Structure 1
Amino acid sequence: MRWQSLILSIWPAFAAIVAAEDGSEGWLRYASVPCNAHCRQNLPSRIITLNATDSSPIETAGKELQDGLQSIFGKNVSIVQSGCHDSSSIVITTVYDYRRLCNSTDEIPELEEDGFWLSAQGDTVHILGQNSRGALYGAFEYLSMLAQGNFSDVAYPSNPHAQIRWVNQWDNMDGSIERGYAGPSIFFADGKIVDDLSRAKQYARMLSSVRINAIIVNNVNANATLLSTANMDGLRRIADVMRPYGVQVGISLNFASPIDFGGLDTYDPLDESVVSWWQDITDQLYDRVPDLAGYLVKASSEGQPGPDTYNRTLAEGANLFARTLQPYGGVLMFRAFVYDHHISEDNWRNDRANAAVEFFKPLDAKFEDNVVIQIKYGPIDFQVREPPSPLFANLRKTNVAIELQVTQEYLGQQCHLVYLPPLWKSITDFDLRIDNATSPVRDVVSGQHFKRPLGGWAAVVNVGTNTTWLGSHLSMSNLYAYGRMAWDPTADSVQILQDWTRLTFSQDRAVLDTITGMSMASWPAYENYSGNLGIQTLTDILYTHYGPNPASQDGNGWGQWTRADGKYIGMDRTLWNGTGFSSQYPAEVAARFENIETTPDNLLLWFHHVPYTQRLRSGKTVIQHFYDAHYTGAETAHGFVSQWETLRGRIDRRRYNETRFRLVYQAGHAIVWRDAINMFYYNLSGIPDEAGRVGHHPWRIEAEDMTLDGYVPYAVSPFETASGATAIVTESNSTAGTAETTLGFSAGVYDLVVNYYDQYGGKSHWTVYINDRVIGWWEGDNEDSLGYSPSIYLDGHSATRITFPRVRIRRGDRLRIVGRPDGVEPAPVDYVALLPAGLVD
């Protein structure tokens, strides 16, 4: 150790005096770290930025180091641009310039593009990049160590796993964001690029700190007006603020732009006028943004235009754009998310999961060398558990990248804590056994396995104007972890999480252990209460992709089917009797999934159609596992609240309260999920829960069973998203309603729970009384408190719980709820529960 180690046991004394924070600094807050006299003597006293030019990553690195040392240690360190071997200094430059300007013969390991060498010996530090971006990455690495109280002597190289480490924004030109849960766009408003790009600059800084090297700034469902002269000039401004951080800008294109925007009468990719039009657009863009990363294209899928309109292949469509980019070194990312969303479930062999291989395997070797096929991690669509896409094993002569989703579209939409790296690693660590040899997915996407020149990572990251960037403080762990995994997919999920926690919240051991425990339990919990055994996330796929609606999975053309009926459940994807999907994998993997005995239970219903009474390895039946898992998952989520509450006073008040609010919301919504899924399959199968829980709620009072005045019963759809299938709503949207009942519970202290519906389009007001005593009131303001309301209907998206703890009641007390509607929201109530201490309803 070159400085005195940080004694973490003293840290709680500092936590109590932390100033309120809004999350805008993310993991780059650089909070003060205790540093004694010996520590301060060993701090470098100057920063040497060799061959730094204005707005270069080297100059940025110097400023980041200067600001970081000031913030962490309160030390002002000067920046100079000359010097090589002086002690008590940080030298930051490229390997080439270090050797050239310093006549150095130091042995430095071979570095790959964007890689760096970090050597910290005593008070002398060398940060040398293979290029200037690599040097900046090394500076962020060094500051991350210091900010975590790690003062070790080190000397090591760090190289990226893959060249492509991109993020995809789904921002629209009007400022909205598709699948955005954190406010409007930081890039666009009213059809143009915003004037104030300070947030974009800060975002670039955060991306660079985790070694993301490019960003697609607009939605894959692209609007061609981005190609206007004014907006091209705006893209130049975005690139200018991001370039100092080594983040290149790219854009999504709409295939039909030559007609929609260019005035041509065709967008046929082989038509000479179309080729010429796109080349002119590309030339104009590179004239403004010489380091444009390239393009992202979604074509021939989900109603988007593509080459199939003219009977051209996907390769012919992709190559059109790739060739325009080749003179500039640009990359064409072409999404493999192509499928027919009007397929019939009546055909037993139809399967959306087959689409990617069916569309792209015949085109292997027909794409230009600067085309990268961007493949979603699983064959369907960001589900809570999927096997890896078999397309990774079927494109031997084509560059590929893996597409992940930091945005929690199907996974709680930042309202639920779900730490995603364990899910991602279940894919990237999967051994595809290509040619009967070790073939982890991570080595295929990097290009290493098939020795391809390009490859890597892309993730949908829909940051917005909310100060937390993603809408939730804890969800930011997923963005941090994505960058770390894209650089090194063998990195440990727990270690990544703990680094993020120390940087974002505190080095307090209690904070570290609590957030680690909650986060690592969160994906298994969400899988348990949303959809397990490989059945997919049982959300509403026809609407918001948020709350429960298992019935929506079947009977439509979208292909996210479960094939559930009164006796059986699960997709038969075997070759011998099903859709044949299993045969798309290499032989060893195909054989494993083909056989029900060797298919892991957590993917059983993905690959096999089985009776509800099918026994699992645990000995439980499928249906009993469903019941038990949904109760277990909801109980785990409920426990997050009490775990977080142990951190009161150890985390600043604002972030503590905002996070607690979301965890309380998640605990309630997990019960909505639990009850909806269990009741749906209980009704479908007719098989009771062995533990007698499903459909049995002795602590609940159904709102429709209360005495109603101004309220009327309302049949909720889907039925399973209301307790007893029924709620109450006010008779009109302008008159209050009252629901009243006499309590028959024994005298005691209870938690009083109300399950209601918070729709967008109104902010109803409710007050709950015991006799004439006001217990509490609340407003239907999820659009403010969560950042958005997921639904306009009474359903599993809008269902919400509120709890008033430790309410004293006596038998015979009168419980009364008064609801005042607002806008289109008729003050809906589902049920009331009175729960003894410690009971999860």
Structure 2
Amino acid sequence: MMRALLLFLTLGVASAEDGLAAWLRYAPLPGVAKSEGSIPSNIVALNATTTSPVYTAGLELQKGIQGIFGKQVSITHQSIESLSTVVVGTVDAYAQEYGLDDDDTADLEADGFWLSTLNGTIQILGQNERGALYGAFEYLSMLAQGNFSQVSYISNPNAPIRWVNQWDNMDGSIERGYGGPSIFFQNGLIVNDLSRAEDYARLLASVRINGAIINNVNANASLLTPQNIAGLKRVADVFRPYGVQLGISLNFASPQLLGNLSTFDPLDASVIDWWTNITDQIYEAVPDMAGYLVKANSEGQPGPITYNRTLAQGANLFAKALQPYGGVAMFRAFVYNQLNESDWRADRANAAVQFFKDLDGQFDDNVVVQIKYGPIDFQVREPTSPLFANLLQTNTAIELEVAQEYLGQQCHLVYLAPLWKTVLDFDLKVDNQSSVVSDIISGKRFNRPLGGSAAVVNVGTNNTWLGSHLAMSNLYAYGRLAWAPTQDPEAILQDWTRLTFSRDPTVLRAITQMSMESWPAYENYSGNLGVQTLTDILYTHFGPNPQSMDNNGWGQWTRADHLTIGMDRTVSNGTGFAGQYPPEIAAMYEDPSTTPDDLLLWFHHVNYTHVLHSGKTVIQHFYDAHYNGSAVAQTFVPLWESLKGKIDDQRYNHVLFRQEYQAGHSIVWRDAISNFYHNLSGIPDTENRVGNHPWRIEAESMSLAGYKPYQVSPFEMASNYTAIVTLTNSTVGTADTTLNFPDGKYDVGVNYFDLIGGISRWDVSLNNNSIASWTGNLENVLGHAPSIYLDGHSATRKTIRGVQVKKGDVLKIVGTPNGIEPAPLDYVVFLPEGVLD
């Protein structure tokens, strides 16, 4: 039966789901009879060992076929002669049982698989056991999407290393964790119940991720105690059947912190012995451990430079301990120092090349330098890190981030695969030869033995895993691109949508549109032209605060003043960063006329009146982009609402809540950035939008009782720079006003501030008839890093739809404070149909 069957399948009614199954729901395919010939009647898994990924593949096939077709299929571990059979195993095991034409599998590489659905028997053969499991998941993905095509093909990975980095702390918290506590740690120990860790390994295996570093790179040395090493063994035991290898992050100073040595000098004999002994202990417990991840001499972490040793000497300390076991030492290139912004040539972006270029060739062969995709830190757009073009004799891996640290923290929909593709596809032209990043990290370009990808992932105990159902598209896409970076992000997204939600064309179109527009929209309303995401880099990294981007030592600068903006990273007059690229790329970035507009302010310091290739000035582009990006975010709400009844209520309501939040917070972003640069430059918006809000009523202009005006700082975080707060934290506040809008139906938006440390209540009425009530509990339901201040992080909006209003009506808002939260209000807006604030 061919793909055309999709046209005839009846789409099922949405049933309750919580998201825990993610894209492995194996939802039923109504309309496909159990007797359908293409549905296997037998499963042969060519390994009976319960810890084997091949054994797991058999169980997964059984579960998938049961879920998709409602058909119970038995499993055997010996060859049988029957049509309508699916056989899964390694090439060697299959050849021993059945014989095999080597031509079919001769090109298989480690972890690769051959999938054939021809001739009535489905063959899923891996080069190794992990590859066989990957092939089983591939076949089930086809079936779950209603794809019954006749296929025969080999699939090999782009690179051997496809890892995730968890930022879990030993106390159970997660750095940048927006989806609940750790599934691995609690109270300084490995958790007793590892069922969620097993579920996670299954998800990782389904997208062909083969390694997981389970603790924060800001590592706690206590992970290496005997009790926790025993705990690591338990984690590895639940990972092993899924082909996922356990890895851990190390604290470089562990010999001193845990081993009571007087030093952690990597060349000291006692330190070398200590690490060798610890590594021996870990491999005795976990013989297939993937290796170590090390963050050294960065952001206050200890490292070899403390003893005037090189980073290569530090990395090789671990590589030598791991080498007898085949382990990999991943060494992060995220090394930088605080800088003085008054130095025109100071530039954090220069750090990676400055620290690592001269060490090329000095790293052992089992060291992989892990390089963030851009030279700063997971920004909404960065140029490709030039370090990829400067390590020709060193294994490298790209570091991506599923955790949306600077990109909305899973409260804003931002589908990241298109961003990642801009880097993976970038050609660095090393030695005037094609040098695409995906070929560099695979080891192909410079003939290196190791390489690949790592992604920071912040899964937690929340049933959504990441705090948001839609954010899971990023984890799925990461695995797919780590395996095959040439894949199309939109095609990946549509596979994920069919598997996660529905094959309904309406669902597919809506989620595709929302997701594919999400990164450009977020870039537009947060920070564009390469100026970076204008978030608060000194506090939560969530909401807007352009003032925080300068006058600090962290180096994420815009160098904005009343006339100019942007970092001059040219060789001729700036920090010299552009010169870190090979000549052809360096020449492009050296000249503003050849630098792409979307990176102009990354490389050049220009006037606000500088004219872009688009024909707009920089400042007008800022205004237009922020208004356009926010306008796109408003469309995500009706797009999602069009899916009511086509997606189960639990997940539908969860996503709707977040899309309504994003729509409101995108306006907070838009106004904060537009007002800041309007005030700084003094240049008006040609469309007269900035600071002009005819449908708003400022809270401080209303009649107040129990409320008082409050000057918000930074000023751009509140409309008209001012909010109102209750007189005391036990005083109920009232704000009322007589409306002067034409009679009609309006969407009413109430902008307020939701602080951590209290859950205030707001009640809104019209002519004493209640139209809305809510509490300020976003810190409990959204999951982002909250704030104790009235600022761009706590600013949000409640929208009340379709309110009938007559001129002269009285609007009243009653704010009841709680804890430290004084029921703060910013403004109210009445929007006629089709009007954007």
Shorter-chain TM range is over 0.9
Match of 2:16 among 8, 15, 20: 20
Secondary structure of residue in 1 paired with 2:88:
strand
Alignment of 1:165 onto 2:162: yes
Question: What residue number does 2:602 align with?
Answer: 606
Alignment of 1:231 onto 2:220: no
Match of 1:249 among 227, 246, 249: 246
Structure 1 window deviating more from structure 2 (41-50 vs 79-88): it is: 79-88
Secondary structure of residue in 2 paired with 1:513:
helix
> TM-score, normalization: structure 1?
0.98
Question: Are the aligned partners of 2:291 and 2:327 in contact in 1 as well (CA < 8 Å)?
Answer: yes
Structure 1 gap ranges (5+): none
Deviation at 1:775, TM superposition (A): 1.2
Match of 2:718 among 722, 730, 744: 722
Mapped to 2, the partners of 1:800 and 1:378 lie a distance apart of 30
Residues 443-492 of structure 1 deviation map (CA, whole Å, 9 limit, x = unaligned): 01111100000000000011001100000000000000000000000001
Question: Are the aligned partners of 1:3 and 1:39 in contact in 2 as well (CA < 8 Å)?
Answer: no
Alignment of 1:269 onto 2:266: yes
Question: What residue number does 1:31 align with?
Answer: 27
Alignment of 1:690 onto 2:686: yes
Question: What residue number does 1:96 align with?
Answer: 92
Match of 1:502 among 476, 482, 498: 498
Question: Are the aligned partners of 1:4 and 1:39 in contact in 2 as well (CA < 8 Å)?
Answer: no
Match of 1:616 among 612, 617, 621: 612
Question: What residue number does 2:6 align with?
Answer: 7
Residues 104-158 of structure 1 deviation map (CA, whole Å, 9 limit, x = unaligned): 3353232110000001125310000000000000000000000000001110000
The one-letter code sitting in structure 1 at the alignment partner of 2:776 is: G
Question: What residue number does 2:813 align with?
Answer: 817
Match of 1:755 among 751, 758, 765: 751
Alignment of 1:260 onto 2:257: yes
Question: Are the aligned partners of 1:186 and 1:465 in contact in 2 as well (CA < 8 Å)?
Answer: yes
Mapped to 1, the partners of 2:744 and 2:61 lie a distance apart of 60
Match of 1:318 among 308, 315, 320: 315
Residues 412-449 of structure 1 deviation map (CA, whole Å, 9 limit, x = unaligned): 10000000010000011011011111111110111110
Question: What residue number does 2:387 align with?
Answer: 391
Mapped to 2, the partners of 1:801 and 1:9 lie a distance apart of 44
Question: What residue number does 2:586 align with?
Answer: 590
Question: Are the aligned partners of 1:11 and 1:508 in contact in 2 as well (CA < 8 Å)?
Answer: no
The one-letter code sitting in structure 2 at the alignment partner of 1:616 is: L
Structure 1 window deviating more from structure 2 (732-741 vs 601-610): it is: 732-741
Question: What residue number does 1:352 align with?
Answer: 348
Structure 1 window deviating more from structure 2 (496-505 vs 708-717): it is: 708-717
Deviation at 1:35, TM superposition (A): 4.4
Deviation at 1:705, TM superposition (A): 1.2
Identity of aligned residues (%): 67
Secondary structure of residue in 1 paired with 2:36:
helix
Secondary structure of residue in 2 paired with 1:108:
helix
Question: Are the aligned partners of 2:117 and 2:151 in contact in 1 as well (CA < 8 Å)?
Answer: yes
Deviation at 1:97, TM superposition (A): 1.3
The one-letter code sitting in structure 1 at the alignment partner of 2:175 is: E
Question: What residue number does 1:557 align with?
Answer: 553
Match of 1:453 among 434, 446, 449: 449
Report the RMSD for the aligned CA atoms in angstroms: 1.1
Deviation at 1:36, TM superposition (A): 3.7
Mapped to 2, the partners of 1:39 and 1:631 lie a distance apart of 56
Question: What residue number does 2:112 align with?
Answer: 115
The one-letter code sitting in structure 1 at the alignment partner of 2:5 is: L
Q: After the TM superposition, which residues 448-527 of structure 1 pair with which residues of structure 2 at under 5 Å, given as runs?
A: 448-527=444-523
The one-letter code sitting in structure 2 at the alignment partner of 1:381 is: D
Question: Are the aligned partners of 2:749 and 2:828 in contact in 1 as well (CA < 8 Å)?
Answer: yes
The one-letter code sitting in structure 1 at the alignment partner of 2:210 is: N
Deviation at 1:198, TM superposition (A): 0.3
Deviation at 1:761, TM superposition (A): 1.0
Secondary structure of residue in 1 paired with 2:23:
helix
Residues 65-120 of structure 1 deviation map (CA, whole Å, 9 limit, x = unaligned): 00100000011111111115532211111001111232333532321100000011
Secondary structure of residue in 1 paired with 2:5:
coil
How many aligned residue pairs are there?
836
Question: Are the aligned partners of 1:115 and 1:157 in contact in 2 as well (CA < 8 Å)?
Answer: yes
Secondary structure of residue in 1 paired with 2:700:
helix
Structure 2 gap ranges (5+): none
Secondary structure of residue in 2 paired with 1:219:
coil
Question: Are the aligned partners of 1:121 and 1:154 in contact in 2 as well (CA < 8 Å)?
Answer: yes
Mapped to 1, the partners of 2:606 and 2:649 lie a distance apart of 50
The one-letter code sitting in structure 1 at the alignment partner of 2:587 is: A
Deviation at 1:219, TM superposition (A): 0.1
Mapped to 2, the partners of 1:789 and 1:777 lie a distance apart of 24
Question: Are the aligned partners of 1:9 and 1:508 in contact in 2 as well (CA < 8 Å)?
Answer: no
Question: What residue number does 1:669 align with?
Answer: 665
Secondary structure of residue in 2 paired with 1:203:
helix
The one-letter code sitting in structure 1 at the alignment partner of 2:178 is: Y
Secondary structure of residue in 2 paired with 1:166:
strand
Question: What residue number does 2:787 align with?
Answer: 791
Question: Are the aligned partners of 2:534 and 2:549 in contact in 1 as well (CA < 8 Å)?
Answer: yes
Question: Are the aligned partners of 1:8 and 1:508 in contact in 2 as well (CA < 8 Å)?
Answer: no
Residues 499-519 of structure 1 deviation map (CA, whole Å, 9 limit, x = unaligned): 000000000001001100110
Mapped to 1, the partners of 2:354 and 2:264 lie a distance apart of 24
Question: What residue number does 2:151 align with?
Answer: 154
Question: Are the aligned partners of 2:247 and 2:293 in contact in 1 as well (CA < 8 Å)?
Answer: yes
Mapped to 1, the partners of 2:7 and 2:384 lie a distance apart of 40
Mapped to 1, the partners of 2:692 and 2:3 lie a distance apart of 59
Deviation at 1:40, TM superposition (A): 1.8
Question: Are the aligned partners of 1:735 and 1:820 in contact in 2 as well (CA < 8 Å)?
Answer: yes
Mapped to 1, the partners of 2:3 and 2:414 lie a distance apart of 36
Alignment of 1:73 onto 2:72: no
Secondary structure of residue in 2 paired with 1:516:
helix
Question: Are the aligned partners of 1:166 and 1:212 in contact in 2 as well (CA < 8 Å)?
Answer: yes
Question: Are the aligned partners of 1:767 and 1:818 in contact in 2 as well (CA < 8 Å)?
Answer: yes
Question: What residue number does 2:335 align with?
Answer: 338
Residues 590-636 of structure 1 deviation map (CA, whole Å, 9 limit, x = unaligned): 00000111000000000000000000111110000000000000000
Secondary structure of residue in 2 paired with 1:47:
strand
Secondary structure of residue in 2 paired with 1:534:
coil
Mapped to 2, the partners of 1:142 and 1:10 lie a distance apart of 19
Question: What residue number does 1:208 align with?
Answer: 205
Deviation at 1:41, TM superposition (A): 3.1
Secondary structure of residue in 2 paired with 1:7:
helix
Residues 742-781 of structure 1 deviation map (CA, whole Å, 9 limit, x = unaligned): 2121222211110001111111000011121111111001
Match of 1:807 among 795, 803, 806: 803
Mapped to 2, the partners of 1:361 and 1:106 lie a distance apart of 44
Mapped to 1, the partners of 2:47 and 2:623 lie a distance apart of 64
Secondary structure of residue in 1 paired with 2:104:
coil
Deviation at 1:828, TM superposition (A): 0.5
Mapped to 2, the partners of 1:473 and 1:467 lie a distance apart of 9
Mapped to 1, the partners of 2:256 and 2:396 lie a distance apart of 30
> TM-score, normalization: structure 2?
0.99
Match of 1:419 among 415, 419, 422: 415
Question: What residue number does 1:302 align with?
Answer: 299
Question: Are the aligned partners of 2:37 and 2:84 in contact in 1 as well (CA < 8 Å)?
Answer: no
Alignment of 1:434 onto 2:413: no
Question: Are the aligned partners of 2:9 and 2:31 in contact in 1 as well (CA < 8 Å)?
Answer: no
Secondary structure of residue in 1 paired with 2:506:
helix
Question: Are the aligned partners of 2:698 and 2:828 in contact in 1 as well (CA < 8 Å)?
Answer: yes
The alpha-carbon distance between structure 1 residues 764 and 38, as it changes in their structure 2 partners (threshold 3 A), is closer
Residues 350-381 of structure 1 deviation map (CA, whole Å, 9 limit, x = unaligned): 00000000000010001110000000000000
Match of 1:537 among 515, 533, 537: 533
Residues 370-400 of structure 1 deviation map (CA, whole Å, 9 limit, x = unaligned): 0000000000000000000000000000000
Question: What residue number does 1:82 align with?
Answer: 78
Mapped to 1, the partners of 2:712 and 2:35 lie a distance apart of 64
Question: Are the aligned partners of 1:84 and 1:91 in contact in 2 as well (CA < 8 Å)?
Answer: no
Mapped to 1, the partners of 2:654 and 2:160 lie a distance apart of 37
Question: What residue number does 1:378 align with?
Answer: 374
Question: Are the aligned partners of 1:217 and 1:251 in contact in 2 as well (CA < 8 Å)?
Answer: yes
